[in-house]
Amino acid sequence: MFDGNIIARKMRRIGFAFLVFFLIQVQSVFGAWGKDVRIISFSGFKWRVKNSDTRVAPRNNLFSDSQENVRVDDAGRLHLKLCKIEDKWLASELVSLKSFGYGTYIFQINSRVDRLDRNAVLGLFTYDGEAAAPNREIDIEFSRWGKDGAINAQYVVQPYHEDGSVRRFAFELNGSFSTHAFTWNRDHVFFQSLNGHYLQPPTEKHVISLWNYTGKNVPRRGKEKVRMNLYLVDESGPSDGKEIEIVIEKFIFVPEAKSFLPNFLSR
């Protein structure tokens, strides 16, 4: 027998379930419930700009989503900046809305990252905030970690404290253009850094560093996002007291089926 009350109760339950689903999706995009965040477009993708009212990871920094800290110029280049407002240094970070999974992640930079202040860090990496540590984190990082004369770059497949998970290297660019990339597959992560902006190094002389990680900690794909950040190793600020700006010309993602190794390695 048709019972209108039962049908009405079912419809209310369906409506409530839909509302909960909708709010969860909003939260996944905008972060905290009901909190507006800044979304920008860069290299054909949407990105959330990080903002914090209190000091947060990494390294107990304050992050700002202001136009001063993070902007895309008329040429489509991303500018990340460490700014000082009153007596506080403000870091910058953006997070992709899209999860890319296996493939090649390419970052083309137009700044002398080899000369980055010893107290600053530029990070280019994947991170899954919904996963347990080590959060599917794969890193390319530029920093001297507060020490003059220290090695200025590293590749990491987290957790960093396990043997064989970090490759550190010192480098000096021959100009402001450099390309840094990693190819992430099920059984390895292949890193490379190049002088110039290339998808493939024209010659071996363009290669700054290469590393193929095949250890036990290659992460499985999940809900990881791409992140790019510029922050400080501690609250003291840059060693020279000056603001720092890094320009990223382009981010490129090549799906797994089309990923590649340098020509001279794949022969």
Domain count, the chain: 2
Same domain, 94 and 84: yes
pLDDT at 30 over 80: no
Alpha helices for the chain (secondary structure H)? 4-30, 263-266
**Is residue 220 located within the same domain as residue 163?**
yes
CA-wise closest residue to 238 among 159, 143, 174, 102: 143
**What is the percent of the chain where pLDDT is above 90?**
81
Spatial distance between the Cα atoms of 154 and 98, rounded to a whole number of angstroms:
25
pTM for the structure as a whole: 0.85
224-236 confidence digits (pLDDT tens): 999 999 999 999 9
Q: Give the HSE-up count for residue 146: Cα atoms under 13 Å, Cβ half-sphere.
A: 8
Which tens digits make up the pLDDT trace of 89-114?
999 999 999 999 999 999 999 999 99
- Provide the pLDDT confidence category of residue 11 given band limits of 50, 70 and 90: very low
- Find the domain containing 23 and state its range: 1-35
Q: For residue 267, is it within any domain?
A: no
Among 178, 131, 117, 184, CA closest to 157: 184
Query: Are 73 and 157 found together in one domain?
Result: yes
Task: Tell me if 13 is assigned to some domain.
Answer: yes
* pLDDT per residue as tens digits for the range 235-248: 999 999 999 999 99
Q: What's the token pair of residue 6?
A: 């039962």
- Same domain, yes or no, for 25 and 120? no
Of residues 225, 219, 227, the one with CA closest to residue 184: 219
* Beta strand spans in 116-243 (E): 120-127, 138-142, 153-157, 166-169, 177-184, 189-195, 207-213, 225-232
Residues 43 and 99 reside in one and the same domain: yes
DSSP tally for the chain: helices H, then strands E: 2, 16
pLDDT digits (tens, 9 = 90+) for 54-78: 999 999 999 999 999 999 999 999 9
